[in-house]
Each structure stands twice: as C-alpha cells, then as structure tokens.
C-alpha cells in the first residue's frame, strides 16, 4: 500500500488509444485503484501530453512515467518536462527512465554503444538538474554547458528506472529510488530482480533506504480462463518477439525455445505455438479468483505495486470495472 492506497494500479499509454486516456484515468480513481502509470513505447502514445491530460482529469492519484527512453530526449529536456509536471501537479508525478526496446531504437538509429553508460549519464544528470544544480560536463553521449532549470520541481522527485538485465538492475539499485519491471515479468523474475537491485544498493552503500518496485503485467479477467488467456496471447507474443534475448526469458528457462520458434516462423508461429504455461507465468489472465491469487503472488514475490495493462483493448473499461468489483476485494 502507498499512503493507504491499493497496490494495484492501471497503465495508460502505448497499447491504449489516446482518446481513452482521460476517461480511463478518471474512472480508475473513482473505482479505488492506487496509482496510474504511463508507458511510452516508440511510435505509440506520447507520454508527457498523455500524463498531463490524465493528471488534469484526476484529483489525487500519483502517476508515474514508466518509462522515458534515456536516448530519445536530451536529459536537460527530460528534466524540464518532469519539473513542469511536478509544478503543475505537486506530489503526484513520478519520473522514470530506461533505455527502450532495442528494436525500436535501431529503427531510429539511436541504440547506444553502451546502454548502461547512457542510463548512468541520463539518470545522474536528471537527478542533478531536478535538484537545482547547474550542470557543465562532457559525457560519452550528452553534453551540458551551464545548464540549469529555471523552474525547479515543486518537491524532490523520486527517479525510477526501467531496466531488465542483471547489470541494469544493479545500476537501478545504485542510482534510483525505484524500479519499473517490464511486462512479461514472472514471479521468479521478480524475486531475481529484487536480489540484483539489493546488490546494487549494497555496492553503493544504500542498504538503509527503501527501493520501490512496480511491476507491469499484461492482464485480462473473464469467467472462462481460456478466454482470458486468449485476450493477452497476441501481446505476450509481440513483446517476446520484440525482446527475446533477455533476463525475462532466461530466468524462466525458455529463452532458447523462444528463439527457436522465432527463427522457424517469426511472430506468427510464436503466437500460434505459445504455450499456456508461458502465458500463465508472464501475464495475469484468468477468473477473478485466479487473477487475485496471481496478483497476490506478484506482491509476495517483491512487487510494491502492480500496473495492469488492460486486455482486450476494446473492452478495457469493462475489465477495469470487473477487476474493481470482483478481484480487488479478494486481495
């Protein structure tokens, strides 16, 4: 719980058409969800416009950016946007930074030679700028010449990172105040990620402070478990195809099989042959009782909060209502 709020939140953006953002955010607050998060994937929905709209449509819910790519905006511009939202909606905005899906960065010609160097430079500069410092430095990726924010944030903003692999999670423990775990996270992966974050905290001497973990999950609820699984199947396959070679699949022991299916027939075959066991491990889809049990397992594994990606897309409002009525009371 955060400030007495539910640990279950709703993810806006990316998969959600922009015209649905305001109504979904407003209704999530009315129904008692604990927080909102905004996912910015390349070529889907712009985060800062969407976040401003959602914050303006709600009264109290915190809203996190999870995540902005460290390389698609200069850290000084990212800091400016974050500070603006903080001043417009004091105490409600939580900035988050990650790398982004490598395939999409390749489309833009922006994949850095060293992703962790890019993350370190971006997060470090963002922290300094948000804290009111004047930054002058020449980094491997970013340069600053007496850059300072004219309008500082209304409060000291916590910075989250969105990272997947062991070194990235250790870096998050070292530098950040929280971590956003990607969709396709499993119970096993959440436990493993917590261990890597703790290693980073210990290495930096930050063992005494809290580090909040928010887990994104592809989510569907239905009286028929097969119908619920079918609602998230395409999305599970899509994200597996977009990022097949990482710790999410490695921790589950399915990386080689994912690669084999993609090599044999691409996304179409992977979607068709996706085992139910993979969906059960990497998504939450089932009856209300099954969904409640799976959410509880994610919380017990080390998630402080869970951000639901509502599926099927054309029934998001129905899933939002059904979950508030039949799932959340079971937690």
pLDDT tens, per residue, the chain with 331 residues = 445 899 999 999 887 889 999 999 999 999 999 999 999 988 889 999 999 999 999 999 999 999 999 999 999 999 999 999 999 999 999 999 999 878 788 998 999 999 999 999 999 999 999 999 999 999 999 999 999 999 999 999 999 999 999 999 999 999 999 999 999 999 999 999 999 999 999 999 997 678 999 999 999 999 999 999 999 999 999 999 988 889 999 999 999 999 999 999 999 999 999 999 999 999 999 999 999 999 999 999 999 999 999 999 999 999 999 999 999 999 9
Pair of tokens at residue 147: 């850059």
Long-range contact set of residues 30-33: C-beta below 8 Å, sequence gap at least 24: 31/320, 31/321, 31/324, 32/6, 32/324, 32/328, 33/6, 33/8, 33/9, 33/61, 33/324, 33/328
Whether 37 maps to a domain, the answer reads yes
Distance, in Å, from the CA atom of 170 to the CA atom of 166, rounded to the nearest integer, reads 6
Complete DSSP assignment for 48-60: HHHHHHHHHH-SS
Q: Which helix (H) or strand (E) holds 220?
A: strand 212-221
**Residue 323, φ and ψ in degrees, nearest 5:** -65, -45
Tell me the CATH number at 315: 3.20.20.30
CA 53 to chain centre: 19
> CA of 94: how far to CAs of 38, 176, 189, 231, 269, in Å?
10, 12, 24, 30, 38
Whether 231 maps to a domain, the answer reads no
Whether 146 maps to a domain, the answer reads yes
Predicted local distance difference test score (pLDDT) of residue 1? 41
Whether 265 maps to a domain, the answer reads no
Whether 276 maps to a domain, the answer reads no
Q: Quote helix, strand, coil % in the chain, to nearest 5.
A: 50, 15, 30
Contacts of 329 (CB under 8 A, 6+ apart): none
Whether 256 maps to a domain, the answer reads no
Whether 184 maps to a domain, the answer reads yes
Distance, in Å, from the CA atom of 288 to the CA atom of 30, rounded to the nearest integer, reads 20
Overall domain count for the chain:
1
Whether 254 maps to a domain, the answer reads no
Q: Which domain holds residue 25?
A: 8-221+290-330
Contacts of 19 (CB under 8 A, 6+ apart): none
Pair of tokens at residue 133: 């410092």
Pair of tokens at residue 39: 């996912």
């Amino acid at each position: 719980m955060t400030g007495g709020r539910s640990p279950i939140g709703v993810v806006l953006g990316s998969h959600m058409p922009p015209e649905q953002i305001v109504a979904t955010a407003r209704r999530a607050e009315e129904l008692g969800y604990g927080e909102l998060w905004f996912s910015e994937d390349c070529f889907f929905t712009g985060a800062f416009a969407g976040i401003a709209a959602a914050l303006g449509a709600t009264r109290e819910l915190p809203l996190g950016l999870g995540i902005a790519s460290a390389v698609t905006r200069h850290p000084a511009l990212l800091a400016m946007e974050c500070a603006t939202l903080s001043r417009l909606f004091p105490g409600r905005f939580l900035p988050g930074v990650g790398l982004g899906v490598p395939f999409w960065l390749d489309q833009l010609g922006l994949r850095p030679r060293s992703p962790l160097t890019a993350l370190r430079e971006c997060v470090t500069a963002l922290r300094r700028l948000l804290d009111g410092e004047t930054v002058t430095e020449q980094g491997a990726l970013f340069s600053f010449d007496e850059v300072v924010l004219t309008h500082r944030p209304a409060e000291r903003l916590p910075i989250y990172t969105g990272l997947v692999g062991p070194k990235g999670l250790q870096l998050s423990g070292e530098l950040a105040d929280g971590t956003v775990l990607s969709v396709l996270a499993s119970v096993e992966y959440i436990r493993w990620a917590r261990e890597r974050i703790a290693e980073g905290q210990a290495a930096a001497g930050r063992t005494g402070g809290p580090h909040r973990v928010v887990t994104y999950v592809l989510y569907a609820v239905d009286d028929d478990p097969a119908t619920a699984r079918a609602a998230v199947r395409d999305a599970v396959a899509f994200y597996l195809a977009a990022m097949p070679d990482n710790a999410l699949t490695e921790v589950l022991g399915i990386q080689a099989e994912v690669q084999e299916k993609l090599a044999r027939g691409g996304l179409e075959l992977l979607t068709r042959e996706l085992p139910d066991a993979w969906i059960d491990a990497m998504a939450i889809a089932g009856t209300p009782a099954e969904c409640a049990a799976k959410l509880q397992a994610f919380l017990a594994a080390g998630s402080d909060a869970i951000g639901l990606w509502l599926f099927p897309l054309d029934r998001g409002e129905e899933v939002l209502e059904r979950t508030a009525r039949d799932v959340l009371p079971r937690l």
